Structure 1
Amino acid sequence: MSSSSTPHHAATKRAGIPLGKIAGIPVYLAYSWFVIAGFTVIVFGPLLQLTRPDLDLGFAAYFVALGYALLLAVSVLVHELAHALSAKAFNWPTEKIVLNLWGGHTQFESFTASPGRAVIVAMAGPASNFVLAAGVWVLIETHVFTGVTLLLADILMSANLLIGIFNVLPGLPLDGGRLVESAVWKATGSQDKGTIAAGWSGRVIVVALVIWLIGVPLLSGGPINFNYMLITVVVCGFLWMGASSSINHARLRSRLYLVSAAGLADPAVGVPNSATVADVLAMSPGGRPAVVICGPDGKPQGVVDPGAAAAVPLEATSLTPVTAVGHALAAGAYVPEWSKGQDLIQYLARLEGGEYAVVDHNGAVTGLLRQQAVVTAITGKEPRRSGRP
Structure 2
Amino acid sequence: MNTGVPSVPLGRLRGIAVGAHWSTLVAVMVIAEVVAVSVLPQAAPGHDAVTYWIAGVLSALAFMLSLLAHELAHALAAQRFGVGVDRIDLWLLGGVSRLSSSPRSPRAEFLIAIAGPATSVVIAILAGAAGSGLATWGAPALITSPLLWLAITNGVLAVFNLVPAAPLDGGRVLAAAVWWRTGDEHRGTKAAAVAGRAFGLALVAFGLMQVFAGALSGLWLVLLGAYLILSSAAEQSADEMQHQLGGVLVRDVMTPDPPIAPGWWTVRTFLDSLTSGPHRQVFPVISFDGAAAGVVSLAELVRVPDPLNTRVGDMCRALPGVPVASLGEPLLDVLGRASLRQGRDLVLVLREEHLVGVIGPEDVAWALELSRGAPISHHGATS
* Alpha-carbon contact 2:81-2:103 (below 8 Å) kept: no
Aligned pairs (5 A) from 1:91-170: 91-110=82-101, 112-142=103-133, 143-144=136-137, 145-170=139-164
**1:157: Cα distance to partner?**
0.6
Match of 1:45 in 2: 36
Q: How far off its partner does 1:260 sit?
A: 4.2
Distance of aligned partners of 1:50 and 1:214 in 2 relative to their CA distance in 1, 3 Å threshold: farther
Distance 1:166 1:56, change over 3 A: same
Say whether 1:239 aligns with 2:228: yes
Q: Counterpart of 1:307?
A: none
Per-residue CA deviation, residues 309-353 of structure 1 (Å, 9 max, x unaligned), is xxxxxxxxxxxxxxxxxxx99869986554443134357669x96
Please tell me whether residue 256 in structure 1 is matched to residue 245 in structure 2. Answer: yes
Query: Partner residue of 1:68?
Result: 59
Contact residue 300 and residue 334 of structure 1 kept, 8 A: no
5+ residue gaps, structure 1, are 5-10, 274-286, 303-327, 382-389
Instruction: Go from structure 1 to structure 2 and tell me whether the alpha carbon gap of 1:251 and 1:151 turns closer, same or farther (over 3 Å shift).
Output: same
Going from structure 1 to structure 2, the CA distance change for 1:112 and 1:240 (only over 3 Å counts) comes to closer
Q: Greater shift after overlay, 367-376 or 93-102? A: 367-376
The aligned amino acid for 2:227 is F
Measured after TM superposition, the shift of residue 37 of structure 1 is 1.5
Partners of 1:96 and 1:347 lie apart in 2 by 14
Q: Return the index of the structure with the highest Cα Rg.
A: 1
Q: 1:15 maps to what in 2? A: 7
Are the counterparts in 2 of residues 192 and 253 from structure 1 also a CA contact under 8 Å? no
Would you say how many aligned residue pairs link Structure 1 and Structure 2?
A: 319
Query: Once the two structures are superposed, what CA deviation does each residue of 1:351-373 show, in whole Å capped at 9, x if it has no partner?
Result: x96485687xx9999x7555244
| Partner SS, residue 98 of structure 2 | strand
User: TM-score, with normalisation over the residues of structure 1?
Assistant: 0.67
Q: 1:205, 1:373 → 2: CA distance?
A: 34
| Aligned CA distance change for structure 1 residues 335 and 205 (closer, same or farther; 3 Å) | closer
- For residues 219-256 of structure 1, the C-alpha deviation after alignment (integer angstroms, 9 at most, x for no partner) is 9xxxx462431222222222222212212222222321
Moved over 6 A (4+): 292-302, 328-334, 362-365
- Change in CA separation of 1:241 and 1:154 when aligned onto 2, cut-off 3 Å: same
Find the counterpart in structure 2 of residue 194 from structure 1. 188
Q: Write the distance in 1 (CA, Å) between the matches of 2:76 and 2:57.
A: 28
Q: Is the 8 A contact 1:195 1:247 kept in 2?
A: yes
Cα RMSD (Å) of the superposition?
4.2
* 1:25 corresponds to: 16
Measured in 1, the distance between the counterparts of 2:367 and 2:47 equals 58
For residues 49 and 355 of structure 1, what CA distance do their matches in structure 2 show? 55
Q: 1:30 to 1:136 in 2, by over 3 A?
A: same
Pick from 204, 209, 228 the counterpart of residue 217 of structure 2. 228
- Per-residue CA deviation, residues 206-225 of structure 1 (Å, 9 max, x unaligned), is 2333455654x689xxxx46
Q: Tell me the amino acid that sits aligned with residue 174 of structure 2.
A: V
Q: Name the CA shift for 1:162/1:353 in 2 (closer, same or farther; >3 Å).
A: closer
Unaligned ranges ≥5, structure 2: 263-276, 279-283, 295-315, 371-383
Letter of the 1:148 counterpart: L
Give distance in 2, aligned partners of 1:252 and 1:77.
30
Distance 2:324 2:228 in 1: 40
SS in 2 for 1:46: helix
Deviation of 1:174 (Å) = 0.4
* Percent of aligned positions that are identical: 23
Helix, strand or coil for the counterpart of 1:200?
helix
Instruction: Indicate which of 40, 55, 58 corresponds to 2:48.
Output: 58
Distance in 1 of aligned mates of 2:365 and 2:47: 61
